Amino acid sequence: MSDSEDPNDDVQYHIGVGPEDVADSVLLPGNPERVDKITALWDEHDEQAHHREYRTATGSYEGTPISVTSTGIGSPSAAIAIEELARVDADTFIRVGSCGAIQPEMDVGDLVITSGAVRQEGTSKEYVREDYPAVADHEVVAALVAAAERLDHDYHVGLTMSADSFYAGQGRPGFGDFRAAGSESLVDELREANVKNIEMEAAALLTVANVYGLRAGAVCSVYANRTTGEFRTEGESRAAETASLAVHLLAKMDEVKREAGVDHWHPGLSID
C-alpha cells in the first residue's frame, strides 16, 4: 500500500497498485474470495496487491490483458476502487456480482446484464445531481450479451436497483422484524416498473464511470428470486466467465473500430 493518501501518487492509497500493475479492463467482484474463482478461468495471472477488501490480480484471458479488483460490499468502497483504478489508467470496468431477481420468470443461476440502474444508493449522489442517469456503456452491454450467447448462459438484460443496505434498503425485515418506511411495497413497485434485480454497487459504478468518461457495465448471477422465494448460491462462475470473455470481445471490438476509423461500435461492424 502507499504511504501517502495523495491521489496523484503512483501507488494508490487504498488498492495499493500503480500504473504498471493493472490492465486497461478490470473486473470488479465484491468478495475478495471471488478473485481466485475468476483468475482460475484465465490463461495466467499474478496477484498485484491485497489491502483491506481490495485484492487485485492481473493476467490474460484468451491472450487479452485483464485485471480483477475486489471492492467489498456496497457503493462507497466500489467508488474508491474505480477512482484509484482510473488514476492508474484503467478505463473499462465490469462488475461481476450476485443479485436478487424480482421478476417471476427469472431463475436462480441466470445472469442479469445491467443496461441502467436505479440510484437508491447514496454514493453517486455525492458526485452528481440525483436526476443524472446511471447508464451502462453500450459497448460493454453488447460484449456481455455476445459473451453470454457464445457461452450458452441464460441471461436477462435490463434495469438494476442498487441499494445501500442488504436488509432494510432491499425491502427485507431488519433486526427484531424492523420495517423501514415503504419497505413492504418496495419490491412490488420495482417489479411493476420492470426492474430486473437488486444489488448494491452497479448504480455507483455506472454513474462515476459516466462522469469520468469511462466504460462500465455489470453482470450478476441470480442467487435469489424475491418473487418465488427460491435461493441458491449458484451461477457465480457463469458471471465470471461471461465478464472475462466480454473483456476479450471488447478488445477485438476496439481493434475493429481502429481499423475502420470510427469511434463507436455499431451493427455495421463485426468481429470473428
Rg over CA atoms, the chain: 18
Cell numbers placing 256: 475493429
Task: Look up residue 138 and give its amino acid.
Answer: H
Three cell numbers written together for 216: 462500465
Pair 173, 101: CB distance under 8 Å: no
Residue written as grid cell 457463469? 238
Amino acid at 188: D
Catalytic residue among 45, 172, 215, 238: 172
Of 87, 252, 102, the residue nearest 190 (C-alpha): 102
Active-site pick, 55, 95, 226, 248:
226
Burial class of 5 by CB neighbour count within 10 A (0 to 12, 13 to 18, 19+): exposed
Does 84 qualify as catalytic in the annotation? yes
- Cβ burial, residue 46 (10 Å; 0-12/13-18/19+): exposed
Q: Which of 53, 84, 121, 236 is catalytic?
A: 84
Q: Is 172 a catalytic residue?
A: yes
149 is catalytic: no
Q: Could you tell me if 224 and 139 are in contact, meaning their C-beta atoms sit under 8 angstroms apart?
A: no
Residue 136 identity (one-letter amino acid):
A
Catalytic residues: 14, 84, 172, 226
